[in-house]
Amino acid sequence: MDIFFPSKKKIKICSYLFVHMFKYALYLIYSFYTKYLNFTNVYVSICGFVFLH
């Protein structure tokens, strides 16, 4: 039954991991596009830091 009805703790951990993986994926896409568009690395770093925090 635990598989079908996971505890609140499991749901919390899964959602936490999902959100962070999603943020990381967006950051990778974002940094790829900014480098592709020839922005400076400093600009990418600052925006990435602000975005992740």
Q: Is residue 2 part of a domain?
A: no
pLDDT of residue 1: 47
pLDDT of residue 3: 58
Q: What pLDDT tens digit does each residue of the chain (53 aa) get? A: 455 566 788 878 888 888 888 988 888 888 887 776 665 666 777 777 777 75
Q: Is residue 12 part of a domain?
A: yes
- The CA distances from residue 29 to 12, 22, 44, in Å, are 26, 11, 12
Q: Is residue 3 part of a domain?
A: no
pTM: 0.42
**Four-CA torsion 44, 49, 52, 53, nearest 10 degrees:** -150
Q: Which domain holds residue 29?
A: 8-52
Question: Could you give the number of structural domains in the chain?
Answer: 1
CA distance 35 to 12: 34
pLDDT of residue 6: 61
